């Protein structure tokens, strides 16, 4: 079971990874559409990851 501290650390790291990846892709490619599609996919993955972590965090104690 994840503590609130672990959950916060994971959320901050995921946000940093998302922002770094988005900026690196934006500088590597000249097309803004690839950056935009990356952002859309990462937002969906990030949202699913948050839902998954929240479910893991709220498991009933045995």
Expressed as residue numbers, the domain containing 48 is 4-57
Does residue 29 lie within any of the structural domains? yes
Report CA Rg, the chain.
15
Does residue 14 lie within any of the structural domains? yes
For residues 20 and 46, give the distance between their C-alpha atoms in angstroms, rounded to a whole number: 14
Closest CA to 47 of 25, 14, 21: 14
Q: Residue 10: is its pLDDT beyond 60?
A: yes
Q: Residue 48: is its pLDDT beyond 60?
A: yes
Cβ distance 5 to 26 under 8 Å?
no
pTM of the full structure = 0.55
Q: Residue 18: is its pLDDT beyond 60?
A: yes
Please give the mean pLDDT across all residues of the chain: 76
- Work out how many domains the chain is built from and give that number: 1
Does residue 34 lie within any of the structural domains? yes
Helix axes of 4-28 and 32-57: crossing angle, nearest 10 degrees: 170
């Amino acid at each position: 079971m994840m503590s609130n501290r672990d959950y916060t650390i994971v959320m901050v790291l995921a946000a940093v990874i998302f922002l770094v990846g988005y900026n690196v892709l934006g500088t590597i490619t000249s097309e803004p559409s690839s950056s935009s599609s990356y952002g859309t996919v990462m937002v969906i993955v990030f949202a699913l990851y948050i839902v998954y972590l929240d479910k893991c965090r709220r498991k009933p104690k045995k």
